[in-house]
Chain A
Amino acid sequence: MAASRRRSTKALTDTAPAQAVSSEELLHYYREMLLIRRFEEKAGQLYGMGLIGGFCHLYIGQEAVVVGVQAALKDGDSVITSYRDHGHMLACGMEAKGVMAELTGRIGGYSKGKGGSMHMFSQEKNFFGGHGIVGGQVPLGTGLAFAHKYSNDGGVAAVYCGDGAINQGQVYESFNMAALWKLPVLFIIENNKYAMGTSQERASAGELHQRGAAYGIPGYQVNGMDVLEVKAAADQWVPHIRGGNGPVILEMKTYRYRGHSMSDPAKYRTKEEVEKMRSESDPIDQLKAKILSGNHADEDKLKEIDREVKAIVTESAEFAQQSPEPDPSELWTDILV
């Protein structure tokens, strides 16, 4: 027990006193999280209007995870995730217009409309997808880390997976190789408590952050609803990883407000449970309160950010409807180089 306690959030905050975060940074996180929130709400709306088809997995509620981790990464670091990926793309600096137009299946989308919600990429922003097979991104991301090490470019790979993916065998094949070869990879488990409709308790034995213990991979649990705690944890471990000390696992305790995908009625949890998380633990509300109580900005400044974000999202939705569908000739392009 002692060992596992040492790897808890509490111990982490003991050893890593939160560094002073500037007002500018706080406002940046606020803006990033709000952009994801508003973007996803708009995507949900467009889905309801029939403008977005197929699967659409919204990130609402989990914004602090990707924004906090991204704050600890540097240019040139790589990011890869699963199919709940819109937030990661926005956090990597990909344009809202291109993401939304991909959701509507238009030529202006990041994949020219050929990938969809689950499959977008940006070489420029070092974002490597967007993968639809649960757990598949974990060995791929380990390969990104392998390439960083092989090329000796000082880069780190941030590899996200959910509490569902963590039970896939290939995740452990990846943990083994990453630890064996001391690859520069941060594994982030976004534990939103439900793998589709199956709660973590019903699917996973043991503690998720300890899943790398047999490989000697340090693992910590982090309050994923607080962007500052996420950032502090990432700040502590990313330099360790970059320094050639091998992988680290961070389990982010988070929550998604919406269903698994748009067609999920979410009958497996109570409305009260969702409401309690929303009202007591919302990452954006929490940060907003800190900004105001710490006098980092006033209401007017936050409203200005709200307006700015709203404008970006509105513009992206308009672009996503105006951009034409891909020409039929696109059917036959990009199959081989």
Chain B
Amino acid sequence: MPIEVLMPALSPTMTEGKLAKWLKKEGDQVKSGDVLAEIETDKATMEVEAVDEGRVGKILIAEGTDNVAVNTPIAVLLEEGEDESALSKGGNAPTAAAPAAPAPAPVAEAAPAPAPTVPAAPVAAPASDEDKFMAKTVKKTVREALRDAMAEEMRRDDKVFVMGEEVAQYQGAYKVTQGLLQEFGERRVIDTPITEIGFAGLGVGAAFKGLKPVVEFMTFNFAMQAIDHIINSAAKTLYMSGGQMSNSIVFRGPNGAAARVGAQHSQCYASWYAHCPGLKVVSPWSAADAKGLLKAAIRDANPIVFLENEILYGQSFEVPEDEEFVLPIGKAKIERAGKDVTITAFSIMVGHALAAAEILAKEGIDAEVINLRTIRPLDTETIVNSVKKTNRLVSVEEGWPFAGIGSEMCALMMEQAFDYLDAPVARVAGLDVPMPYAANLEKLALPQVDHIVKAAKQACYR
């Protein structure tokens, strides 16, 4: 039986990739361990090795093909004694022939949600100051937008530098800092040892002297090692010094769950950092958010925790071309105007909320979706004004519910919108458990679109 070679998943978040190059051609003999092809994932270019022996019978996907979904057959191997006539009989079970690289099938299915369809132009977003920038846009991934933001600010100000693990030579563990070393050199793009509290503290010290560090944490999970300096040194010093000693510093990196990386690598820290005066906490959703907010964060004179999301890195959005597109920190964005129920969300949950709003619309419920963008200082005005109109609030977050952002929303409603509420505030949050590894359990632990739909309907007594 001919053996199908499938497009492998080579990273936890990879759902598709580019078949960059074939290293074997039709008719070549292949032994297990031979490199068959090079594949570009969302993070790197990887070699794919053969697991089975045989002769390349047919190449199904030509080199240079983009967006090849994980598990797509890319070639067929013929076993000893088989000839091309066997090809027509089709391949055998795919699992038997999957390349040696990480487990193929479950990854795509296990992504926390089916990659939310991103509305190219959000439905009925109200007019805003940003509109003039949206006249001329270019499609970029969140990853590229973050990189562009850093590069533009580094060109603008020599005091800005980037440091962290693998940010320079490796080009970023998630390729976010790709190309920065080449443009700015090793003085300003600095690979650190694996030493989070050390380089976080070093960054704050450099900021005391007027530099503007962008400190990348490979993920915010590792920033727990450094949280003493983020809170005790960065957030509190301005106050403790009676206003003398500011520090303009950005701590950035992916936050929250990626896919199938287990409890220690899958936590949302929005509520942790948002708890602390002296910090600003920003969490972008789209590529335009990422660019406009990161530029604002780098220019800001205060310490900023900038919570990104690994799954969003590869998603594309329209981004203004104008380099002066800088979004205000502390201002939420109404992504979709509606009159029946307000849904607040941030980071990847904005996509879920918009998807939920589409479903709700079909059932006659007109949801207003607010992309918080900044968690601290929270744009209470936009939220309260929206609830004054809709009289209902659903708060969505990926993190745990206890003392979470949703709890803060409840308090805000009690204090500032009590008389306008027609239903209890509903919280959609991650389950109150450490993140499980199993694909089915992980999906159950994270908020899904239908949870938001259900919560919104409940708020509307439907």
Contacts and interface: CB of A to CB of B under 8 A. Distances in A.
Contacts of B278: 335-336
B209 interface: yes
Given A131-B233, A136-B232, A136-B233, A143 B244 contact: no
Interface string A135-163: 01011111111111011000000000000
Contact of B198 (A115, A139, A150): A139
B232 A140 contact: no
- Grouping DSSP codes into helix (H, G, I), strand (E, B) and loop, the A interface class, with mixed when no group exceeds half, is mixed
B207 interface: yes
B241 A121 contact: yes
A119 B237 CA distance: 8
A111 B206 contact: no
A143 B207 contact: yes
B202 A139 contact: yes
Interface stretch (A22-30, A166-174, A218-226, A232-240): A166-174
A140 B204 contact: yes
Contacts of A146: 202, 205-206, 211
A336 B244 contact: no
B277 A335 contact: yes
Contacts of A140: 201-202, 204-205, 208, 229, 233
B244 A114 contact: no
A176 B195 contact: yes
Interface in B210-252: 210-211, 228-229, 232-233, 237-246, 248
Given A143-B205, A177-B199, A336-B302, A114 B193 contact: no
Contacts of A333: 243
B338 interface: no
A174 B244 CA distance: 25
**Size bracket, chain A contacts:** 35 or more
B203 interface: yes
Contact of A111 (B195, B198, B207, B242): B242
B197 interface: yes
Nearest to A109: B242
Interface string B329-371: 0000000000000000000000000000000000000000000
Given A147-B209, A336-B280, A170 B240 contact: no
Interface string A173-197: 1101100100000000000000000
B189 interface: no
Interface stretch (A31-39, A122-130, A263-271): A122-130
A173 B229 CA distance: 13
Contact of A177 (B198, B204, B242, B301): B198
A335 B242 CA distance: 9
Q: Which of B205, B241, B278 has the most CB of A within 10 A?
A: B205
B156 interface: no
Given A136-B229, A144-B208, A176-B195, A170 B201 contact: yes
Interface string B270-286: 00000001101000000
Nearest to B300: A337
A90 interface: no
B187 interface: yes
Interface string A82-126: 000000000000000000000000000111111100011111000
A126 to B, nearest CB: 9
A147 B207 CA distance: 8
A72 B204 CA distance: 26
A115 B240 contact: yes
A144 B209 contact: yes
Contacts of A337: 238, 246, 248, 301-302
B323 to A, nearest CB: 24
Interface string B178-204: 000000000100001101011111111
B239 A173 contact: no
Q: Which of A123, A131, A143 has the most CB of B within 10 A?
A: A143
B238 A335 contact: yes
Interface in B284-304: 301-302
A272 interface: no
A143 B232 contact: no
Given A114-B242, A337-B246, A337-B301, A142 B193 contact: no
Contacts of A148: 209
A173 B242 contact: no
Contacts of B161: 150
A128 B205 contact: yes
A38 B82 CA distance: 96
Interface of A: 78, 80, 109-115, 119-123, 128-133, 136, 138-148, 150-151, 169-170, 173-174, 176-177, 180, 333-337
23 contacts: A110-B242, A111-B241, A112-B242, A114-B239, A119-B237, A119-B241, A128-B205, A129-B245, A138-B201, A139-B201, A139-B205, A140-B208, A143-B204, A144-B205, A144-B208, A146-B206, A148-B209, A150-B211, A169-B197, A170-B197, A174-B201, A336-B280, A337-B248
Given A130-B240, A150-B161, A176-B193, 15 more contacts: A111-B242, A112-B243, A121-B244, A122-B244, A123-B244, A128-B209, A140-B201, A140-B204, A140-B205, A143-B201, A147-B206, A177-B198, A334-B243, A335-B277, A336-B278
